[in-house]
Chain A
Amino acid sequence: MRSYVLSRLLGLIPTLAIISVIIFAVIQLPEGDVVSSTLDRLAAQGIAPTEEYVQNLRAQYNLDKHMALQYLYWAGNFLTGDMGYSYVFERPVNDLVWERLGYTLSITVSALLFTWIVALPIGIYSAVRQYSIGDYVMTTIALVGLATPPFLLALIFMHLGFEWFGVSTGGLFSPEYEDAAWSWGRVVDMLAHLWLPMVIVGLGSAAFTMRILRANLLDELNKPYVVTARAKGVGPVKLVLKYPVRIAINPFISNIGLMLPALVSGEALVSLVMGLPTIGPLLLQSLLNQDMFLAGSLLMWLAILTVVGILLSDLLLAWVDPRIRFE
């Protein structure tokens, strides 16, 4: 097990390195850069900067150096915890990221938990009572849930929230807690707002997981050992839960790798619609304004979040399923 963990941890380094190169390439793609957009703004104010000023500015952002060197500066600074300065928000990127990363993380993780909590009982029920009315209802809901874009769900839920409760359901805090310091009341207030994005983000993956669990469990339930156990008089609940479910539940962990990127994507989209203070809206802002230091850092953090999440799920799977360790 230790060697497995070690090899996976070492494998993380090239993965993240490749990702950082990809992201650096992406943020370099747009025409123009920090300096040209700064100059544009100055020009809009009627200020004509001197040639020396421009040179200084380019040197300040390392733009006068070779592309590879620029990447190394960027990556090096990122590693040492300096993510640069956002000229749109006129604040260090570090502050902006730390402010919001926690919310992104809490919505994504709670959506993952929601996925499991919902998919487990429904998947078991659908498999055990195959072709019952409940099964048809649940599989239909799952099909629709898989096909509905998260932003559409968010709009519909916000509308329903408005209709039924007469409250605006956007945001992550009530107005009185918006800018307040952290307190018990603020945590409770956040949890009261968190459930809606959690449900919306998690619904698609819940549908996905439920379908897999149902299919796996159906395969398992027809196996001879289940028939034997039934013939020997094992009760219906124990019969299902003791072995078939334990085997069919494997994808709950192994599919985190598939689900997590989708959850992070969905979270970004839903946050944009619902106006949540997470990374998603910040990313859109930074992209629209070509604030590439900020955009690059945000993309990098989303990637790190996903990669580390997948690593954890792989380790968990190796711990649960010994076959993987010895591969």
Chain B
Amino acid sequence: MNMASPTTPLPAAGTAANAATAAGTAANVASPATAPDTASPARALLRRRRAWKPAEFLFWGAALLAPLALPRSMLLMNEIAILGLFALSLDLILGYAGIVSLGHAAFLGVGAYAAGLFALNVSADPLAGLVVAMLAASVLGFLTSFLVLRGTDLTRLMVTLGVALLLFEAANSWRSLTGGADGLQGIAMDPVLGLFDFDLKGRTAYFYSLAVLFLLFLAARRMMGSPFGLSLRALRDNRLRASASGVGVNGRLVLVYTLAAAYAGAAGGLLAQTTQFVSLDVLEFHRSADLMLVLIIGGTGWLYGGLIGAVLFELFQDVVSAATPQYWQFWVGLLLVVFVSGGREAVHKAGAALRQRVAALFGGRRP
């Protein structure tokens, strides 16, 4: 098990894998009709874990009410919601399935370009554009998922990075379609659902992005709390053991990779629609690298990690880039270095008690 995800409580990993494989096999082998007795304890356990915790209501309530407190920073909040969705997508494959990726921006970029081109050439309806973005990204995700099944972590890092670079070069060269370095300009969106017009202050943008984030989050929460999600964790913890207990490896990895690509495509689509602009920047390497930092800040392997990481990252970026706009990357780099070289352990040790309490409230993981 090479991919030691930073915030997974290690002592629990073994038991989690056991529970997960048990649940997975129960779901695979025992249909309710033939053996309801072996299936029901696992199902009951799953249902208990899926119950909503109070802090979760608090979190989403705060997200909904935030514009009341800070009506001027709704553009920033929109960015946070989109980054949160993007981070959620990476967490699905990195935190839950243990697939490392350095090229997640590929899916964000494809989603953004798909949504932008759809709005320019076909229809300016936001929801239809969002579906197109998700479809386009998931097609790419499905095709490239076969590339990440083989090899070691290192090959995966290289291949995902290579795919993202390939797309960047393609978007750069194919000027007639993507506008090259100028990007897609003049995207004008219709009102959401025909009711809510996009405004300059970003109010519609924020609530639109938040609604999409919330719905996709609900779907992810349900999926990761299902036998499928548990079997993914079993794969992450010990691939050999999982496949020995009857969990099909490749099919699940292809599925979750495609799913994560669709999520990233949705984030890209939202980005294109709410900023009404798509440039090569959506495919840049730093997007993928920043995303890693978001997940490191928030923690991998629980769905709120990406969201909380996105909030902290954007606030940090807002403060620092206001002070030194040109050298903002330096501080990102410093954070990465400090986090990996021991800062993470220090932070976690100091906040362990607090984190356990918070995590228990969110129901994300058990100490």
Q: Do A and B come from one complex?
A: no
